[in-house]
Amino acid sequence: MQINELSAQEIATAIAGRNLRPSEVMAACLDRIAAVNPAINAVVSLRDRDALMAEARALDDAPPNGALFGLPVAIKDLAPTKGIRTTWGSPIHAGHVPAADALMVARIKAAGAIVIGKTNTPEWGHGSHTFNPVFGATRNPYDLARTPGGSSGGAAAALAARMLPLADGSDMMGSLRNPAAFCNVYGFRPSWGLVPGDAGGESFLSTMATEGPMARSVQDLARLLGVISGPNPQMPFGLPARDFLTEVEAAPADLRGKRIAWLGDWDGAYPCEPGILEACAGGLDVLRGLGAEVVPLAAPYPAEKLWQTWITLRAMLNYGAKKLLWDDPAKRALLKPESAWEISTGASLSAEAVYEASTIRSKWYARAHRLFQGYDAWVMPTAQVWPFAVGERWPQAINGRAMDSYHRWMEVVVPVSLIGLPALNVPVGFGASGLPMGMQIIGAHGQDAAVLAMGETYHRATLWPQKHPPVIAPAGGHPDEARSEQGR
């Protein structure tokens, strides 16, 4: 098997056994990027090949040290990375080179990985479609005319195209889950607090976004999660680290006795394009075949209340974080319309509206906790649409129902994100047009290991990423064209 087809687990084992050298892994990675990235545009700000090969060769004779020893990684372009251009997809920061690493990046480096560059993301991570005026659009390896989703779209596309063995991502509104579903890989949103952020900004109200792992196998997710998780003493609400890899490797051979709630489209509140619920039904059949009991569950909370709460708190946080940019006319002019909408909405909020939203969020958390007393997990679709045209900013309607914001078409991820639950996207196969889809396996807060173990059992039974890799052929134009397609 070629190196690029190996999992991070297999590569790490081969390096530890002196059956594979880090320099061989790096050469295979860079060769693959050179071959397919021009068509996909997933990896950006790639470092010099000679410098990367020198770093890898320096590890060839060194004793393996760290869970990611010798593995090449590219960091999502929302995380500051020392010495490598970090832009947040924004022309405001197009030339920014950080002097220090974010905590997550520092932990990845300390585990022995070699950072080769960045993965593409939407501007400021806003929107589940990866395009920006700095690098252009990323394309889906399964159809170069389609989006890989976002905001971790570059990471998902790089994984699917075998450019990287694993990747980091981040998730506020499905950004670890949606692109994983669109690219036939795994993306795990951890319980909020398991993977800490960096101190320095607001940290008590900002509890809806988290970083997490992406990979082509659940064991690889667990390997990376073990590296990036664990408390930051300078941040509140932290959860303790665990040996997730060992727990996942010991996953049961079946799911007998597990009770899983199927929430579907939330009683019609979350319209899904034709074929998506049917694809998820196939995933549910796998769970049943492994011994789980799947129970249809009525919508447990009013969807519109969750949505209004979501857009209120999200806008409040965006306004607070980006007020300085908003107050500078020159920088405001460089913000994309979706970001401007978030900030301007936040600027108009009253304290009463924010308090009411937080109250609804609190009630939903309590309701969800009670529901989990009767179920081991919930399952929902990961996305409401199939991967759409790369030149489209966002889906305007689903089944004739108009979307009233740039992100309403991803409303299905809101129940999880609003209250910080762990959620794993698992692939469920392909639709009639040959495009991938996934479903979310959702656990109670703090039940990350249990969700991953369930996902590992599902993975062993399906192997969707391994059995159905993309065939990447030149089609759909060149990524450079995306700058004119998307506009500025």
Q: State how far the Cα of 71 lies from the Cα of 114, in Å rounded to an integer.
A: 6
Output the pLDDT for position 251.
Answer: 83
pLDDT at residue 252 in the model:
81
Residue 473: what pLDDT?
65
Cα angle value 206/228/208 (rounded, 5°): 20
Rounded distance, CA 138 to CA 144, Å? 9
Structure tokens, 386:
């199939």
Answer whether 129's CB lies under 8 Å from 189's CB.
no
* Bridge partners, residue 118, by sequence: 44, 75
Q: Any idea what the CATH number is for the domain that residue 127 is in? A: 3.90.1300.10
Number of domains in the chain: 1
Q: Which residues contact 483 (CB under 8 A, 6 or more apart)?
A: 133, 136
Instruction: Look up residue 318 and give its two tokens.
Output: 């965006």
Buried b (16+ CB within 10 A) or exposed e, 408-421: bbbbbbbbbbbbbb
| Alpha carbon distance 31, 25 (integer Å) | 10
* Max intra-chain CA distance, the chain: 62
Place of tokens 């064209």: 481
Tokens of 242: 């665990």
Confidence (pLDDT) at 182 = 98
The count of residues in the chain is 488
pLDDT for 382 = 98
pLDDT per position in the chain (488 positions), as tens?
Answer: 799 999 999 999 999 999 999 999 999 999 999 999 999 999 999 999 999 999 999 999 999 999 999 999 999 999 999 999 999 999 999 999 999 999 999 999 999 999 999 999 999 999 999 999 999 999 999 999 999 999 999 999 999 999 999 999 999 999 999 999 999 999 999 999 999 999 999 999 999 999 999 999 999 999 999 999 999 999 999 999 999 999 999 888 889 999 999 999 999 999 999 999 999 999 999 999 999 999 999 999 999 999 999 999 999 999 999 999 999 999 999 999 999 999 999 999 999 999 999 999 999 999 999 999 999 999 999 999 999 999 999 999 999 999 999 999 999 999 999 999 999 999 999 999 999 999 999 999 999 999 999 999 999 999 999 999 999 864 344 433 333 233 32
Three-state helix/strand/coil letters over the chain? CCHHHCCHHHHHHHHHCCCCCHHHHHHHHHHHHHHHHHHHCCEECCCCHHHHHHHHHHHHCCCCCCCCCCCEEEEECCCCCCCCCCCCCCHHHCCCCCCCCCHHHHHHHHCCCEEEEEECCCHHHCCCCCEECCCEECCECCECCECCCCCCHHHHHHHHCCCCCEEEEEECCCCCCHHHHHCCCEEEECCCCCCCCCECECCCCCCCCEEEEEECCHHHHHHHHHHHCCCCCCCCCCCCCCCHHHHHHCCCCCCCCCEEEECCCCCCCCCCCCCHHHHHHHHHHHHHHCCCEEEECCCCCCHHHHHHHHHHHHHHHHHHHHHHHHHCHHHHCCCCHHHHHHHHHHHCCCHHHHHHHHHHHHHHHHHHHHHCCCCCEEEEECCCCCCCECCCCCCCEECCEECCCCCHHHHHHHHHHHHCCCEEEEEEEECCCCCEEEEEEECCCCCHHHHHHHHHHHHHHHCHHHHCCCCCCCCCCCHHHHHHHHCC
Look up the domain containing 229 and give its range.
3-486
The pLDDT of residue 103: 98
d(CA 197, CA 195) in angstroms, rounded, equals 7
Can you give the pTM of this predicted structure? 0.96
The whole-angstrom separation of Cα 159 and Cα 43 is: 10
10: number of Cβ within 10 Å: 17
pLDDT of residue 237: 95
Euclidean distance between CA atoms 169 and 377, whole angstroms: 23
Catalytic residues: 76, 151, 175
The predicted structure's pLDDT at residue 90:
98
User: What CA–CA distances, in Å, run from 437 to 5, 42, 91, 433?
Assistant: 21, 19, 32, 11
Identity of residue 338: E
Q: At what angle do helices 8-16 and 218-228 cross, to 10 degrees?
A: 70
CB atoms near residue 329 (< 10 Å):
7
| 431/367 Cα distance (integer angstroms) | 34
